[in-house]
Structure 1
């Protein structure tokens, strides 16, 4: 059926019907049901090279799976070769250079576990199970964004396998155009088998904000939250406001089951004592239901939201940036929340600023450097609810788009959509097209928010 995959390294090729195929093609979002022609499970960089060459010989598109955590399910494709990096999870700390060497299939939790042994951290996301590769290549907005920028800002070098199977050492001197592009430009240019990330002094313990309010106070809370964000320091800007209906889960008191709440979470990246004082206004936005703000290990902070992000459920997601929370914007957001067709909706409003916004918009591919908020909405559909949830999620995007900042979305938090890449990359898009032409002119790496070489 296909020309044989050269037996170098330890990779295995799994075909439909063979053991492991169904499990390997699954991604976090269960609504994604794509069936690759074959799956290459890679254990090494050489395995990736052979997989890419195999795809080229057989005329197959390529999808790249790291953590499989993107709402659009970009890690899996129909009828192509799925390159599965999930066994490549090695993390090595170079303490002298203050650099983390991270394999392309590592999860955020893998990185945190190793870096925190040295009291160091890479700016990552807010969930430990997310794949570092996908997160970093399209931005990476996490708890360290105000102090140390985005994940992509901290990529100092990488190893990239091109669509010809060549291995490139990418850094400021060698293939600097590609380094610029992978700092936010997604998986459009090749398979990143290893990242080198800058490390920063964080932890091992930090002051964390974790307070829950009743949704009935939403408007007042949003007004006060906005006022805090406008004056927040770099150490205090990493705060997230989450609106959801709590599930009837065993880890929650029965009185909170199915209750609509607002959670305000965050991490203070400076001295612990200063954090306790700085976050007090956010603990007094209204009368708290629960306030679990405390000092805790940074590794625990990074996996605290894991239990809220269910795996293998049908999810529909959207995202937009905002410059300010005017009364009109707030009313529009709350009206959509009030019209949610199912209780299993997660609205997240992430405050932006500090170091991530000081980077020039053309210094990396990631172009949105002046927004004040990123809104991410995930709707979890139970059986029979898919069409309704998908339509409603799209309606959230359409309702809020006129108020959004540059009509742009955070690409790590939105499904596939026409024109989303152009809007996200703004003036950087044409430069990305030129890099795409140089490294992937036939668009083999198209299963992403695609930058076409045309």
Structure 2
């Protein structure tokens, strides 16, 4: 069956039984164990075209691996063709256009390493090992969101291999319907082999907030933080609050091992000296346990949280957008954190505002532009706690849903769910269906937050 494809891509075709098969289908979330009929490890756009055309001829569904970091495991599928872009990671900076030209398998770390050589950056996420493809196609929330918006807002062009195996260059002038859909509509419309992102002067050093508070001060921290954020400038609104039990890791002082804390982490997207003054209240939200706030390289900030999300650990997650964090919401959060199946959890509240919330709801598929916070919950399995973690994350979602912003979730942190997808893209759904019909009538690309054609 696969002989014609093998003639085109050679040993980059990996089939079940190949010694490379199990390692290649492995992704970040070890709770996902899917077995594709074949994997093509692509090194070029030509490889991608060959794989897509073969899947079309043989009527196979297609999953696409960029970084393989989605909690839902969309990178890998059962019985279909997995297109692996992880070898396509080149990043080129066009200083004249102020644009980064990025291959579809690049990670956020790959982008930062290259763009920071020029003192430039594009808004991405907060874990350097995340693939930019999934991040951008479903939104992309990072430390530059307040000043420069989401990753998807800064996509200015892309090369896409469509279901028919043709290559399209898309931007606001070329195939504008597809260009619009890529900025938040997920991997529904083809394989993006190259992204083009707008760049801005950032770094190379930035004022980075990093304060630890005791979890017993959780409510005080969030009450005071909300007061600060109500009047904060765009440069200072992108703060991530993370509640966790710290691991007994060698990079942490012993007195912090197994300590329940809430971390306030972020950056000032402007002059570092000015940032120190503006963000001082965030260092006094309660009595700090530790304050590691300092001026550091932007690339170091972007890698700071990597140890909190180790690879190949079973993870169960959920997400909701929220408005005001009132006492009822905070009591639910605290109650859920006290009832975890095991200590390895992350409960994150990221403040939203500034530029990302000024984008009209129909400018991109991502229609949630007025929420004040996004909640991200991850439980990491150690041993046989998978069923308990699933129940715990589901109950988190159920209890907070009545307090949510339009019952919507951040799609980069939520497994496949049609109702959640519709709640998040809202009035843009029908427009996405039309684009899906134009470019993927057979729904070949369906291992994602799927738009039914």
SS of 2:324's partner is: coil
Tell whether 2:278 aligns with 1:289: no
Deviation string 1:54-101 (CA, Å, 9 cap, x unpaired) is: 111111110000000000000000000000000000000000110100
What is the aligned partner in structure 2 of residue 13 from structure 1?
Answer: 13
Count residues in correspondence. 453
What is the aligned partner in structure 2 of residue 137 from structure 1?
Answer: 137
Name structure 2 gaps, 5 residues minimum: none
Cα distance in 2 for partners of 1:9, 1:386 equals 38
Query: How far off its partner does 1:11 sit?
Result: 6.8
Native 8 Å contact 1:67 1:130 kept in 2: yes
Deviation string 1:306-353 (CA, Å, 9 cap, x unpaired) is: 111111111000000012112222222222122222110100100000
What is the aligned partner in structure 2 of residue 218 from structure 1?
Answer: 218
Native 8 Å contact 1:341 1:389 kept in 2: yes
Cα distance in 2 for partners of 1:433, 1:179 equals 14
Cα distance in 1 for partners of 2:36, 2:211 equals 44
Q: How does 1:332-347 map to 2 (within 5 A)?
A: 332-347=332-347
Cα distance in 2 for partners of 1:89, 1:67 equals 10
Native 8 Å contact 2:416 2:450 kept in 1: no
TM-score by length of 2: 0.99
Instruction: Extract structure 1 runs of 4+ deviating beyond 6 A.
Output: none
Query: How far off its partner does 1:416 sit?
Result: 2.3
Query: How far off its partner does 1:432 sit?
Result: 0.5
What is the aligned partner in structure 2 of residue 47 from structure 1?
Answer: 47
More deviation, 80-89/248-257? 248-257
Deviation string 1:231-285 (CA, Å, 9 cap, x unpaired) is: 2110001110000000111111111111100100011011111110111111001
Query: How far off its partner does 1:2 sit?
Result: 3.5
What is the aligned partner in structure 2 of residue 177 from structure 1?
Answer: 177
Name structure 1 gaps, 5 residues minimum: none
Cα distance in 1 for partners of 2:336, 2:427 equals 31
Native 8 Å contact 1:244 1:260 kept in 2: yes
Query: How far off its partner does 1:8 sit?
Result: 4.1
TM-score by length of 1: 0.98
- Cα 1:347–1:279 change in 2 (3 A) is same
Q: How does 1:287-366 map to 2 (within 5 A)?
A: 287-366=287-366
Tell whether 2:243 aligns with 1:234: no
More deviation, 55-64/328-337? 328-337
Cα distance in 2 for partners of 1:344, 1:279 equals 30
Cα distance in 2 for partners of 1:334, 1:433 equals 40
Native 8 Å contact 1:156 1:196 kept in 2: yes
Q: How does 1:374-413 map to 2 (within 5 A)?
A: 374-413=374-413
Cα-Cα RMSD: 1.0
